[in-house]
Structure 1
Amino acid sequence: MSRITRLSAGVIVARETPDGWRFLLLRAFNHWDFPKGMVESGEEPLAAAIREVREESLIDDLEFIWGHEHTETGPYSRGKVARYYIARTRTSEVSLPVIEELGRPEHNEYRWVDFEGALKLVSPRVEPVLEWARGMMNGGVNRTD
Protein backbone atom coordinates (compact mmCIF):
# COMPACT_ATOMS: atom_id res chain seq x y z
CA MET A 1 0.00 0.00 0.00
CA SER A 2 1.49 3.35 -1.02
CA ARG A 3 1.78 6.17 1.42
CA ILE A 4 -0.36 9.24 0.82
CA THR A 5 1.88 12.27 0.44
CA ARG A 6 1.24 15.83 1.50
CA LEU A 7 2.49 18.51 -0.88
CA SER A 8 4.18 21.69 0.22
CA ALA A 9 5.27 24.30 -2.31
CA GLY A 10 7.90 26.97 -2.18
CA VAL A 11 10.11 29.27 -4.15
CA ILE A 12 13.86 29.50 -4.48
CA VAL A 13 13.97 33.29 -4.27
CA ALA A 14 17.03 34.73 -6.03
CA ARG A 15 18.24 38.33 -6.11
CA GLU A 16 20.85 39.59 -8.53
CA THR A 17 23.60 41.67 -6.89
CA PRO A 18 26.87 43.18 -8.15
CA ASP A 19 28.56 40.14 -6.57
CA GLY A 20 26.28 37.58 -8.25
CA TRP A 21 23.07 35.80 -7.33
CA ARG A 22 21.97 35.62 -3.70
CA PHE A 23 19.38 33.15 -2.42
CA LEU A 24 16.90 33.83 0.37
CA LEU A 25 17.09 31.23 3.14
CA LEU A 26 14.85 31.21 6.19
CA ARG A 27 15.71 29.51 9.48
CA ALA A 28 13.12 27.79 11.65
CA PHE A 29 14.80 26.36 14.75
CA ASN A 30 18.05 24.94 13.30
CA HIS A 31 16.72 24.17 9.79
CA TRP A 32 17.47 26.44 6.82
CA ASP A 33 15.18 26.23 3.79
CA PHE A 34 13.58 28.31 1.09
CA PRO A 35 10.16 29.87 1.79
CA LYS A 36 7.54 27.11 1.49
CA GLY A 37 4.39 25.74 3.04
CA MET A 38 1.49 23.38 2.60
CA VAL A 39 -0.70 23.53 -0.48
CA GLU A 40 -4.25 24.13 0.70
CA SER A 41 -7.23 22.18 -0.59
CA GLY A 42 -8.18 23.38 -4.07
CA GLU A 43 -5.07 25.55 -4.36
CA GLU A 44 -2.63 25.27 -7.26
CA PRO A 45 0.94 24.52 -6.11
CA LEU A 46 2.41 27.61 -7.81
CA ALA A 47 -0.21 29.84 -6.18
CA ALA A 48 0.59 28.25 -2.82
CA ALA A 49 4.31 28.83 -3.35
CA ILE A 50 3.75 32.53 -4.14
CA ARG A 51 1.42 32.88 -1.13
CA GLU A 52 3.98 31.29 1.18
CA VAL A 53 6.75 33.65 0.05
CA ARG A 54 4.47 36.63 0.69
CA GLU A 55 3.35 35.31 4.10
CA GLU A 56 6.83 34.36 5.30
CA SER A 57 8.92 37.26 3.95
CA LEU A 58 6.50 39.93 2.64
CA ILE A 59 8.23 39.70 -0.78
CA ASP A 60 5.59 40.22 -3.45
CA ASP A 61 7.51 40.98 -6.65
CA LEU A 62 8.44 37.47 -7.79
CA GLU A 63 9.38 37.14 -11.46
CA PHE A 64 9.43 33.61 -12.86
CA ILE A 65 12.03 34.39 -15.52
CA TRP A 66 13.06 30.72 -15.70
CA GLY A 67 9.48 29.65 -16.33
CA HIS A 68 7.27 27.54 -14.11
CA GLU A 69 9.51 24.47 -14.08
CA HIS A 70 9.82 22.85 -10.68
CA THR A 71 11.61 20.13 -8.80
CA GLU A 72 10.45 18.03 -5.86
CA THR A 73 12.11 16.40 -2.90
CA GLY A 74 11.62 12.78 -2.08
CA PRO A 75 9.13 12.03 0.70
CA TYR A 76 10.14 13.14 4.19
CA SER A 77 8.44 13.91 7.50
CA ARG A 78 5.63 11.35 7.31
CA GLY A 79 5.26 11.39 3.51
CA LYS A 80 5.48 15.10 2.79
CA VAL A 81 6.95 16.17 -0.57
CA ALA A 82 8.22 19.73 -1.17
CA ARG A 83 7.93 21.27 -4.64
CA TYR A 84 10.14 24.24 -5.50
CA TYR A 85 9.99 26.84 -8.27
CA ILE A 86 12.64 29.53 -8.98
CA ALA A 87 11.91 33.25 -9.13
CA ARG A 88 13.83 36.48 -9.18
CA THR A 89 13.07 39.35 -6.85
CA ARG A 90 14.40 42.88 -6.84
CA THR A 91 13.50 43.22 -3.16
CA SER A 92 16.38 43.14 -0.70
CA GLU A 93 14.49 43.96 2.51
CA VAL A 94 12.88 40.94 4.13
CA SER A 95 10.40 41.02 6.97
CA LEU A 96 9.57 38.07 9.18
CA PRO A 97 5.99 38.92 10.19
CA VAL A 98 4.29 37.55 13.28
CA ILE A 99 1.96 34.67 12.46
CA GLU A 100 -1.23 35.29 14.40
CA GLU A 101 -1.82 31.61 15.20
CA LEU A 102 1.71 31.25 16.58
CA GLY A 103 2.02 34.64 18.23
CA ARG A 104 5.54 34.93 16.77
CA PRO A 105 7.26 34.84 13.38
CA GLU A 106 7.36 31.40 11.77
CA HIS A 107 11.10 31.84 11.16
CA ASN A 108 13.86 32.97 13.49
CA GLU A 109 16.22 34.45 10.92
CA TYR A 110 16.80 35.08 7.23
CA ARG A 111 19.92 35.41 5.11
CA TRP A 112 20.75 36.32 1.51
CA VAL A 113 23.57 33.92 0.62
CA ASP A 114 25.51 32.90 -2.47
CA PHE A 115 25.39 29.36 -3.79
CA GLU A 116 28.30 28.10 -1.68
CA GLY A 117 26.89 29.75 1.45
CA ALA A 118 23.52 28.15 0.79
CA LEU A 119 25.09 24.71 0.40
CA LYS A 120 26.67 25.08 3.83
CA LEU A 121 23.36 25.94 5.49
CA VAL A 122 20.74 23.70 3.89
CA SER A 123 20.05 20.10 4.83
CA PRO A 124 20.96 17.16 2.59
CA ARG A 125 17.26 17.02 1.57
CA VAL A 126 17.49 20.55 0.12
CA GLU A 127 20.95 20.26 -1.52
CA PRO A 128 19.62 18.64 -4.75
CA VAL A 129 17.02 21.43 -4.98
CA LEU A 130 19.77 24.03 -4.81
CA GLU A 131 21.85 22.16 -7.40
CA TRP A 132 18.81 22.01 -9.70
CA ALA A 133 18.26 25.76 -9.31
CA ARG A 134 21.89 26.50 -10.18
CA GLY A 135 21.60 24.37 -13.32
CA MET A 136 18.39 26.10 -14.37
CA MET A 137 19.82 29.55 -13.70
CA ASN A 138 23.13 28.87 -15.43
CA GLY A 139 21.40 27.34 -18.44
CA GLY A 140 19.19 30.38 -18.83
CA VAL A 141 16.17 28.17 -19.49
CA ASN A 142 13.18 30.36 -20.45
CA ARG A 143 15.06 33.46 -19.37
CA THR A 144 13.70 36.83 -20.40
CA ASP A 145 14.85 40.18 -19.10
Structure 2
Amino acid sequence: MTQRPPRPRRRRRRQRTLSAGVIPVRFAERGRLYLLLRAFQYWDFPKGKVETGEEPLEAARREVQEEAGITELSFRWGYHYFETGPYAQGKVARYYLAETTTRRVVLGINPELGRPEHHEYRWVTPAEAYRLASPRVREVLDWAEARITRPVHDDA
Protein backbone atom coordinates (compact mmCIF):
# COMPACT_ATOMS: atom_id res chain seq x y z
CA MET A 1 0.00 0.00 0.00
CA THR A 2 1.40 3.35 -1.03
CA GLN A 3 0.97 6.33 1.18
CA ARG A 4 0.44 9.74 -0.24
CA PRO A 5 2.43 12.56 1.22
CA PRO A 6 0.35 14.81 3.45
CA ARG A 7 -1.25 17.76 1.72
CA PRO A 8 0.20 21.09 2.66
CA ARG A 9 -2.21 23.01 4.86
CA ARG A 10 -3.51 26.14 3.29
CA ARG A 11 -3.58 29.13 5.51
CA ARG A 12 -7.00 30.67 5.42
CA ARG A 13 -6.93 34.41 5.14
CA ARG A 14 -8.85 35.95 7.94
CA GLN A 15 -11.70 38.10 6.83
CA ARG A 16 -11.10 41.69 7.82
CA THR A 17 -13.82 43.08 10.07
CA LEU A 18 -14.03 46.87 10.06
CA SER A 19 -15.07 48.73 13.18
CA ALA A 20 -15.52 52.49 13.26
CA GLY A 21 -15.51 54.87 16.17
CA VAL A 22 -15.06 58.39 17.40
CA ILE A 23 -12.35 59.85 19.61
CA PRO A 24 -14.50 62.29 21.59
CA VAL A 25 -12.53 65.24 22.95
CA ARG A 26 -13.88 67.98 25.17
CA PHE A 27 -12.10 71.16 26.23
CA ALA A 28 -12.37 71.96 29.95
CA GLU A 29 -10.50 73.84 32.67
CA ARG A 30 -8.20 70.82 33.03
CA GLY A 31 -7.38 71.04 29.31
CA ARG A 32 -8.23 68.42 26.70
CA LEU A 33 -10.31 65.52 27.97
CA TYR A 34 -10.90 62.31 26.06
CA LEU A 35 -13.78 59.93 26.61
CA LEU A 36 -12.67 56.37 27.28
CA LEU A 37 -15.00 53.42 27.87
CA ARG A 38 -14.01 50.30 29.81
CA ALA A 39 -15.16 46.79 28.92
CA PHE A 40 -13.63 44.32 31.38
CA GLN A 41 -10.01 45.50 31.77
CA TYR A 42 -9.77 47.21 28.35
CA TRP A 43 -10.17 50.94 27.81
CA ASP A 44 -11.04 52.22 24.33
CA PHE A 45 -12.86 54.98 22.52
CA PRO A 46 -16.49 54.34 21.48
CA LYS A 47 -16.50 52.10 18.41
CA GLY A 48 -18.27 49.16 16.85
CA LYS A 49 -18.78 47.08 13.75
CA VAL A 50 -19.67 48.76 10.47
CA GLU A 51 -22.96 47.21 9.34
CA THR A 52 -23.59 46.06 5.77
CA GLY A 53 -24.45 49.05 3.58
CA GLU A 54 -23.28 51.54 6.20
CA GLU A 55 -20.48 54.04 5.65
CA PRO A 56 -17.70 53.99 8.30
CA LEU A 57 -18.34 57.60 9.38
CA GLU A 58 -22.06 56.85 9.74
CA ALA A 59 -21.20 53.78 11.85
CA ALA A 60 -18.81 55.83 14.00
CA ARG A 61 -21.53 58.40 14.75
CA ARG A 62 -24.05 55.64 15.51
CA GLU A 63 -21.65 53.84 17.84
CA VAL A 64 -20.82 56.91 19.94
CA GLN A 65 -24.54 57.58 20.30
CA GLU A 66 -25.36 53.95 21.20
CA GLU A 67 -22.44 53.45 23.57
CA ALA A 68 -22.20 56.88 25.22
CA GLY A 69 -25.39 58.77 24.37
CA ILE A 70 -23.44 61.54 22.62
CA THR A 71 -25.00 63.04 19.49
CA GLU A 72 -23.38 66.49 19.44
CA LEU A 73 -20.10 66.09 17.55
CA SER A 74 -18.02 68.60 15.61
CA PHE A 75 -15.47 67.15 13.19
CA ARG A 76 -13.47 70.37 13.31
CA TRP A 77 -10.24 68.61 12.27
CA GLY A 78 -11.92 67.22 9.17
CA TYR A 79 -12.96 63.69 8.34
CA HIS A 80 -9.47 62.25 8.41
CA TYR A 81 -9.19 58.99 10.29
CA PHE A 82 -6.67 56.68 11.90
CA GLU A 83 -6.93 52.99 11.10
CA THR A 84 -5.31 50.36 13.29
CA GLY A 85 -3.54 47.29 12.02
CA PRO A 86 -5.39 43.98 12.38
CA TYR A 87 -5.96 42.76 15.93
CA ALA A 88 -8.23 40.21 17.67
CA GLN A 89 -8.72 37.81 14.76
CA GLY A 90 -8.67 40.27 11.88
CA LYS A 91 -10.47 43.29 13.32
CA VAL A 92 -9.41 46.71 12.05
CA ALA A 93 -10.65 49.85 13.82
CA ARG A 94 -11.07 53.21 12.11
CA TYR A 95 -11.27 56.25 14.38
CA TYR A 96 -12.44 59.78 13.59
CA LEU A 97 -11.59 62.72 15.85
CA ALA A 98 -14.47 64.95 16.99
CA GLU A 99 -15.03 67.66 19.56
CA THR A 100 -18.05 67.61 21.82
CA THR A 101 -19.30 69.93 24.53
CA THR A 102 -21.37 67.12 26.03
CA ARG A 103 -20.22 66.11 29.52
CA ARG A 104 -22.98 63.65 30.37
CA VAL A 105 -22.41 60.09 29.24
CA VAL A 106 -25.13 57.45 29.22
CA LEU A 107 -23.86 53.91 28.78
CA GLY A 108 -26.41 52.44 26.38
CA ILE A 109 -27.97 48.99 26.76
CA ASN A 110 -26.76 46.52 24.16
CA PRO A 111 -29.91 44.72 22.93
CA GLU A 112 -28.02 41.45 22.38
CA LEU A 113 -26.57 41.48 25.90
CA GLY A 114 -29.49 43.09 27.71
CA ARG A 115 -27.03 45.34 29.56
CA PRO A 116 -24.43 47.99 28.76
CA GLU A 117 -21.40 46.51 26.99
CA HIS A 118 -19.15 48.86 28.96
CA HIS A 119 -18.64 48.84 32.71
CA GLU A 120 -17.34 52.36 33.19
CA TYR A 121 -16.50 55.60 31.41
CA ARG A 122 -14.08 58.41 32.19
CA TRP A 123 -13.27 61.82 30.78
CA VAL A 124 -9.47 61.81 31.07
CA THR A 125 -6.48 63.99 30.24
CA PRO A 126 -4.12 62.76 27.52
CA ALA A 127 -1.68 61.54 30.20
CA GLU A 128 -4.41 59.61 32.03
CA ALA A 129 -5.66 58.14 28.75
CA TYR A 130 -2.15 57.01 27.87
CA ARG A 131 -1.78 55.32 31.26
CA LEU A 132 -5.09 53.44 30.94
CA ALA A 133 -4.88 52.47 27.27
CA SER A 134 -3.42 49.43 25.56
CA PRO A 135 -0.60 49.92 23.02
CA ARG A 136 -3.16 49.79 20.15
CA VAL A 137 -5.25 52.58 21.70
CA ARG A 138 -2.12 54.59 22.56
CA GLU A 139 -1.32 54.75 18.83
CA VAL A 140 -4.78 56.19 18.22
CA LEU A 141 -4.28 58.70 21.03
CA ASP A 142 -0.90 59.76 19.61
CA TRP A 143 -2.57 60.40 16.25
CA ALA A 144 -5.37 62.44 17.87
CA GLU A 145 -2.90 64.52 19.88
CA ALA A 146 -0.89 65.27 16.73
CA ARG A 147 -4.07 66.36 14.88
CA ILE A 148 -5.23 68.62 17.71
CA THR A 149 -1.88 70.31 18.30
CA ARG A 150 -0.98 70.70 14.60
CA PRO A 151 -0.95 74.31 13.36
CA VAL A 152 -4.21 75.36 11.69
CA HIS A 153 -2.60 76.04 8.28
CA ASP A 154 -1.29 72.44 8.04
CA ASP A 155 -4.14 70.26 6.76
CA ALA A 156 -2.09 67.23 5.69
- Structure 1 length as normaliser, TM-score? 0.94
State the 4+ residue runs in structure 1 displaced beyond 4 angstroms.
140-143
Residue identity (%): 56
- Residues 18 and 56 of structure 1: CA distance in aligned 2, closer, same or farther (over 3 Å): same
For 1:47, give the aligned amino acid.
E
Structure 1 residue 73, shift from structure 2 partner: 0.7
Task: Give, in whole Å, the separation in 2 of the partners of 1:45 and 1:66.
Answer: 17
Q: 2:113 corresponds to which residue? A: 102
> Residues 92-128 of structure 1: CA distance to partner in whole angstroms, max 9, x if unpaired?
0101122222111110000000000000011011111
> Residues 60-102 of structure 1: CA distance to partner in whole angstroms, max 9, x if unpaired?
0011000000011110111110000000000001011222221
- Determine if the alignment matches structure 1 residue 61 to structure 2 residue 75: no
Q: 1:27 corresponds to which residue? A: 38
Task: Give, in whole Å, the separation in 1 of the partners of 2:87 and 2:143.
Answer: 19
Contact 1:54-1:60 at 8 Å conserved across structures: yes
Q: Which of the two has higher C-alpha Rg?
A: 2
- Determine if the alignment matches structure 1 residue 80 to structure 2 residue 91: yes
- Structure 2 length as normaliser, TM-score? 0.87
Task: Give, in whole Å, the separation in 2 of the partners of 1:103 and 1:81.
Answer: 26
For 1:12, give the aligned amino acid.
I
What count of residue pairs does the alignment treat as equivalent? Answer: 143
Gaps of 5+ in 1: none
Task: Give, in whole Å, the separation in 2 of the partners of 1:29 and 1:53.
Answer: 18
